[in-house]
Structure 1
């Protein structure tokens, strides 16, 4: 794999996902959940997390969140779909998202 562009890596991760499920996953499975760009790959997410947070990543799982249909009276609209990444860190590594806010 070629050297990944550092500018691209800085744009891959959009935001951490703060929800009940992501909090449960963080406590139980020691993973962190991030919202990522729609064309991100596992290798890009791994390199971006290691670059931004200075931690070692064990594995990355990526999930596509499907768009939802929403109604406004008689008209029908769609929310955008997005992509999230579950990042498992190596033992002893930690990302503190509360301190970053």
Structure 2
């Protein structure tokens, strides 16, 4: 298990059309540290965003894409994405307001 602090877990929010429509159901999507567990993601969201209460967390590991530059093949970095479901009485996450 990784020794991560709560402020190292969440890297950045995912801003796509699909994630924006899911916000109506209080589901927020973030890129997280690949070593983070669901428990660490839950703790990070509740500590970083005032009034947020997490009901559940779904995570998925995303492989890096194959890229080619001339004759050399390589891969982009792998990522981990987390979809955080908040409870109904929870406050909304403010960084997504106005998007």
Which range, TM-score by smaller chain? 0.7 to 0.9
Question: TM-score if structure 1 supplies the norm length?
Answer: 0.82
Quote the residue 2:94 is aligned against: 96
Which aligned segments of 4 or more residues in structure 1 are displaced greater than 4 angstroms? none
SS of 2:5's partner is: helix
The structure with the greater share of residues assigned to helix is 1
Deviation at 1:21, TM superposition (A): 2.3
Question: TM-score if structure 2 supplies the norm length?
Answer: 0.83
Unaligned runs of 5+ in 2: none
SS of 1:45's partner is: helix
Does 1:67 pair with 2:64?
Answer: yes
Deviation at 1:23, TM superposition (A): 1.4
Deviation at 1:65, TM superposition (A): 0.9
Quote the residue 1:58 is aligned against: 55
Unaligned runs of 5+ in 1: none
Quote the residue 2:19 is aligned against: 22
The alignment's C-alpha RMSD in Å is 2.2
Quote the residue 2:5 is aligned against: 8
Number of equivalences: 95
Q: Tell me, in whole angstroms, the C-alpha distance in 2 between the residues paired with 1:78 and 1:64.
A: 15
